[in-house]
Structure 1
Amino acid sequence: MSYKTNATGQNLSILALAEDILEQTKGITKYLQANNLAAPTFALDSPDPPETPEYRELHNSLKTSLEDLQRLVDGPRRWLRAFCCTGYDLGALQVALDFQFFTLIPAEGAVSLEELAQKVGLDLDRVSRVIHQLMTYRFFHEDSPGFISHSSTSLVMLQDEELRSVVHYSLDEMLKAAADCNISLKANPYEADQNHNPFVTRHGVGIFEFYKRNPEKARRFAKAMAGLRRMDRHLDTLLKDSFNWSATKGTVVDCGGGNGHISRTLAQLYPELNFVVQDSNSDMLAEGQEQLTDDIRDRVSYMQHSFFEPQPIKNAAAYLIRQCTHNWADRDVVTIFKSFVPGLESSSPDTPLLINDIIIPEPGTWPRHQERVVRQVDMVMLVNCGAKQRSKSEFELLLKQADARYEIRNVYDNGPLGLLEVYLHRGLPN
């Protein structure tokens, strides 16, 4: 069963929640057993939970109930005290990353705190304090006093450089920028874009210029983005399963497609389609070209092009823009949408513009845990780019500003990454 809560969180019972948690836990256990999957433990060799839609639904429902139970047991004051102190815990994690604790502790066996302190060039007291604080989050183990080994959580940080990069850049660049939100918004209360945002307030330049000037951090950022793509493979579900690709014939133009990973995936699934990946970053295009396999090499090509410029490819079967609009302020997105018009006008009336991005739900219409995730990404865009994630109505407004003939015919918003199917209505003046 699934315990239902209303938007205000009233009428919740500790006992009812606990009983619901038990039933949901049994449901997860039955799912794992039915699929011959091992239940997760804290052991070093414990497998990751599955990434199937069925398991994610079970996970999200249980997590919402667990959070509600903790909030009720803690009460608002105790919860707020812990929540506002999270930044100090993240400071400990940043020290562990900057000073390479995760890679200096061996995968097997243990290292003494004294030896670790010598290796990282810090005094024993602060190394010990950081380690012991992180241990309260199940990072690391202290099997005997003064000797530290890995836990399952810290071991995955050792073994997965891309995941480690995700965590490290989030703390080193982004959390510092987020801490300056109030300063940035006070300085620019009515303006937000690539040049007016907390990242610029903190680092002095916009995010793209920052990585041009800091090549080492740019490499880490690239690894982090690769790690996020790998962890977020389930985000491709709506794009692959909702739009009728089988009925589409011809060339799909992947605008702002980076290295073309989504086009390569779709090309393997739909051998009747060709793909042109467009991006302004020549390095990303070259990287994608190198990753082409023989089975799709003659159907996926790369082209340097900015989606702010008029679309040069005519007679396309579809135009796709994926996870790009959230990087830009409203007026920039209007320019992006205008740039598609020449291509759409020169294509069939049945050629869609596919906008694959988070579609922010109306407050309270999603389970709170799931809504928090997409609104968290919205805050990421506010901090980093002075931009935003948008609701369906916000997308529609910007499309109409770009060209009155735009119309949204289909909306797929039942996943973490939504899809808008947009057409240029030929019966209206532009």
Structure 2
Amino acid sequence: MEERRAQLRQSLGPAMGYLNAIVEMGVLKTFIDYKAFDMIPDSGSISLSELARKIGGEHEVLERLAAHLIAADFLTSPAPDHVAHTAKSLTYKSEQMAAGFLVHVFNMLFQPMAQLPTYFAQHGLASPKHADVTPFGLAWGHPDKDVYGILEAEPALAKVFNSMVGRSGALYPMKGVYDFSWMQQQVGSLDGERPVFVDIGGSSGLALRDMLSDNPFVPAERCAVFDLPKAIENAASSLDPALQSIQLVPGSIFDPLPPAVRGSLVYQFRRILNDFPDGDVLRSWKTVREAAASDTRVYVVEELMQANRTTFQIAQDITFMLVGGKRRTVEMHAALAGAAGFRLNAQFQDTGNECAVLEFILA
């Protein structure tokens, strides 16, 4: 009997680990949502009764949830019915990066991943072919919208998403990876009305801000952020002071580009192509090709799929699949661009991560 019990425990071991991880994420997300970590004093303790009163919850359920965090060493219990912070739990207060990232992962991965079997049951065991039919859409109750349409329809989700995108931008710098000095002489000889740099899907413009700061010879007034109307509206309401003279141009990359951003010297796709299936990426390339000038260059800034992938890198690729996208190799990017009339001119690898700048010119 004891041997059978040992075999059963061994068989269930991995599943029990998954169970604990799932419960832990749900409990942490709840504590963050209700700002429970914020209400616990940085030093000293608080009774669960007082904490329940402050966050508007029942003592009984808070006792049950806190028990898991205490057992997992996220919180301590210096006295009966009391909780206190640890160094770990302090990082989950509302304004901390760890809290934002956990909520982001819960929203963008945890909930959609639970819908993956349902998606396959409905659409077959195949990667999403359309950005508006995805596990992410099922998870958020919008089975006919792409990820950006869902963000527009869900302001609270968009707030967390945009915050994480903005805060993680520093992980993917262009400075030290790509040399823009070639533009200095080029800009001076261009027609004064011609756009110089268009950041497609540039959201709040922070990537453009950093490029302008590092390359002051680029005239800001001839640069633009081109994004969906809601994103442009949000950018205009909180525009960085350094970007007051840039152009904010609303539109869709799946429609012909408006006059204000046609014929640009540079177009940039920064960390957006991986969000879409191949068909939509090709449509994006064709849109840019139709608007490009003979000397246009296109930058693709993305984390690349590598030959020797880690488990985490493979997990990232599956994460993109949840919204209809994928991580791509250099060759995959080049093939899609080539089908629209571009060719890969150069590749610049960031030595600090797997991100690279791929430079394309007209074929």
Q: TM-score by structure 1 length?
A: 0.69
Query: Is 2:135 aligned against 1:198?
Result: yes
Query: 1:112–1:292: structure 2 CA closer, same or farther, 3 Å change rule?
Result: closer
Distance 2:307 2:62 in 1: 45
SS of equivalent residue, structure 1 residue 178: helix
Alignment-derived partner of residue 381 in structure 1: 320
Alignment-derived partner of residue 341 in structure 1: 289
Query: Is 2:65 aligned against 1:116?
Result: no
Q: Which runs of 5+ in 1 are unaligned?
A: 1-74, 426-430
Distance 1:209 1:228 in 2: 17
Measure how far apart 1:163 and its partner are: 4.9
Distance 2:37 2:22 in 1: 20
Distance 1:288 1:150 in 2: 39
Distance 2:20 2:349 in 1: 38
Measure how far apart 1:233 and its partner are: 1.2
Identical columns (%)? 18
Query: 1:273–1:137: structure 2 CA closer, same or farther, 3 Å change rule?
Result: farther
Alignment-derived partner of residue 210 in structure 2: 265
Asked if structure 1 preserves the Cα contact closer than 8 Å seen for 2:270 and 2:300, the reply is yes
Asked if structure 1 preserves the Cα contact closer than 8 Å seen for 2:103 and 2:160, the reply is no
Query: 1:410–1:121: structure 2 CA closer, same or farther, 3 Å change rule?
Result: closer
> RMSD of the alignment, in Å?
2.9
Q: Which runs of 5+ in 2 are unaligned?
A: 1-9, 188-195
Alignment of 1:9-408 (within 5 A): 78=13, 81-83=16-18, 85-158=20-93, 160=95, 163-172=98-107, 174-189=109-124, 190=126, 192=128, 193-205=130-142, 206=145, 207-215=147-155, 217-218=156-157, 221-236=158-173, 239-249=174-184, 250=187, 251-274=196-219, 275-285=223-233, 287-288=235-236, 290-293=238-241, 297-298=244-245, 300-311=246-257, 312=259, 313-344=261-292, 346-348=293-295, 351-364=296-309, 368=310, 372=312, 374-383=313-322, 385-403=323-341, 405-408=342-345
Letter in 1 for 2:208: S
- Summarize deviations over 1:23-61 as a string: whole Å, max 9, x none: xxxxxxxxxxxxxxxxxxxxxxxxxxxxxxxxxxxxxxx
Distance 1:280 1:123 in 2: 42
Distance 1:162 1:390 in 2: 28
Query: 1:319–1:76: structure 2 CA closer, same or farther, 3 Å change rule?
Result: farther
Asked if structure 2 preserves the Cα contact closer than 8 Å seen for 1:408 and 1:421, the reply is yes
Distance 1:163 1:288 in 2: 28
Distance 2:216 2:177 in 1: 18
Measure how far apart 1:333 and its partner are: 0.3
Asked if structure 1 preserves the Cα contact closer than 8 Å seen for 2:274 and 2:327, the reply is yes
Q: TM-score by structure 2 length?
A: 0.80
Distance 1:381 1:293 in 2: 33
Alignment-derived partner of residue 32 in structure 1: none
Measure how far apart 1:147 and its partner are: 1.8
Query: 1:82–1:257: structure 2 CA closer, same or farther, 3 Å change rule?
Result: same
User: Which of the residues 347, 356, 360 maps onto 1:410?
Assistant: 347
